[in-house]
Structure 1
Amino acid sequence: MKSKHPLQDYEGPLRTKMGGCFPGERAVFRGHDLHADLKELDWVELYTLGITGKRFLPAQVKLLHALWTYTSYPDARLWNNRVAALAGSARSTGALGVAAAIAVSEAAIYGWQPELAAADFLVRAHECVIAGQSLQDILTLELERHRYILGYGRPVATSKIDERIPAVLALMERENLEQGPYLRLAFEIERTLFQMGRKLPINYAAVTVAIPLDMGFSPRECYLFVLPSFQAGMPPCYLEAAERPEGATFALKCSQVHYAGPAKRRWSDSQ
């Protein structure tokens, strides 16, 4: 029987179904012996098992791998990679640089927040379609509420096809993986938006959550899955900046900055 205060219910030893470490003996991962039962798993298989508690077919795991691989861009101009590069330039540690870069990957406009919102919308839209609502009505209402549909349009290349999507679809075809209901819905949303006069091509956010949704992930599990998806591009940016002279990455003269604030003044004028 539960007490009146939730903390009283959880007082004492930690109760968990996720696993535990028994130094010198074994490690348990979601009820499996990590070094016996799961010793053949690669890292993505283990990572998704930890998130969902489920095992996936080899072709599905290969596709999940690709969703990370195809967005691993070692370009220091990208907002999150820039943080890693500047950390290397400032002679910070790799752990701090990469961790900070992962943290800022949650940018609201073009980071992981759109992925979570896109997954949530796909689930809601799918339920509404099954209930008999027209997709155009669903999109009209969503646009009235939020003015945009996350997962559609791309700030850096609004009118172009997201180069990662054809690569994902080609892999699915090679692995004989059919498009599931969420991925089909994601592309139907793109077509319907075009018919409504909204030229917002589908972007990687919608695809990278639709595929896990079709594998049984929840929106929160989709979010956790995409967390490391940019990480492979970060260490190269950190390393290259660390190899340059300190402070030399993205060096900029003051004369190159267009300033429109208060005019230059003497310190004595402010006394």
Structure 2
Amino acid sequence: MSAQIHAFLCLKDNIGVLVRDPNTGACAAIDAPEEGAILAALAQTGWQLTDILVTHRHGDHVEGVEPLKRRTGCRVVAPVKAREAVPSADAYVREGDTVHVGGLQAHVWETPGHCLDHVSYWFAADRALFAGDTLFTLGCGRMFEGTYAEFWATLQRLASLPDEARVYCGHDYTLSNARFALAADPDNEALKARAAEAEKAKTQGRFLVPTTIAQEKATNPFLRAGEPALAKSVHKEGASPVEVFQALREWKNGF
């Protein structure tokens, strides 16, 4: 049986996710934005928390780690580069490691860009990527550390995943991302349809998480920085994709 996955809102606009192995009952939270919302999701599903997989050190992703560990005795896995922010983790992981949640297996990818300690968890058998604040529906994270070249390389790596791969991100920024994407890529018909879908979902109390790699390659301006239309929108015709990506990201910062 494949993984059971439940996504829900935490804090103001964080996305919480539970990943469960139905064969063993093992259940992991991807990050822990807040204890209460995760406990409510566990109560709703009837699942029991056995693990927390941390993507990066920022407070809105780890503030629930300590109380949940005290309450449930769950195992905490965190990036080795985030050791100081998550001192109680039971295991620290880096590029090339694997993590098991019951019989489910996740590959650990170091995905610098939003911050240097960021990792993503790729459950290859389930075609599910937990990308934290690296790749969002119609957007990408703000860059706090590192270089644009590093961030672009990370996004290119994620874009190389199978088209059907589902992407679970760390925030629901979809409507604001859609507004920027339409400003940057106004003639993209697939994007227009996706933005309309996001508006409809909002009125119905839904959010467009997960998205897929195929949808993001077609509509996300940050994955499309190699396209002439995006270069033109930032007046960088003929520039390298990483230069176009940098211009797009800096435009989005002030959008």
* Range of TM-score over shorter length: under 0.3
Higher RCO (C-alpha 8 Å, min separation 6): 1
TM-score, with length taken from structure 1: 0.23
Larger radius of gyration: 1
TM-score, with length taken from structure 2: 0.24
Higher helix share: 1
